[in-house]
């Protein structure tokens, strides 16, 4: 297991190496997807027995990942 961001880890033996909330098998993408679907931070935290900081760490990780992404427009 390797911590790649605060509260976010990867482990090849957990979820095929996808980033998860530390100490769980819950992928960051699932947390962000629940928020995008309209759940509140508190709702997501309660559903998965996370802290508010765990949910915010997932959002921060996702934001940093997108900031590093380069997209080329075809045209």
pLDDT of 70 over the 90 cut: no
pLDDT of 15:
96
Tokens linked to 36: 């995008």
pLDDT of 59:
97
pLDDT of 71 over the 90 cut: no
20-29: Cβ within 8 A, 24+ apart: 21/48, 21/50, 21/54, 21/57, 21/58, 22/54, 24/48, 24/50, 26/50, 28/58, 28/61, 28/62, 29/62
pLDDT of 66:
92
Three-state secondary structure call for residue 5: strand
- pLDDT single digits (tens) 4-38: 999 999 999 999 999 999 999 999 999 999 999 99
| CATH architecture designation of domain 2-67 | Orthogonal Bundle (1.10)
Tokens linked to 67: 């900031």
Domain ranges of the chain: 2-67
């Amino acid at each position: 297991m390797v911590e790649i961001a605060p509260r976010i880890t990867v482990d090849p033996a957990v979820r095929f190496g996808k980033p998860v909330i530390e100490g769980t098998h819950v992928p960051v993408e699932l947390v962000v997807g629940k928020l995008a679907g309209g759940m509140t931070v508190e709702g997501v935290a309660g559903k998965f027995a996370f802290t508010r900081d765990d949910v915010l760490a997932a959002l921060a990780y996702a934001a940093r990942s997108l900031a590093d992404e380069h997209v080329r427009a075809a045209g």
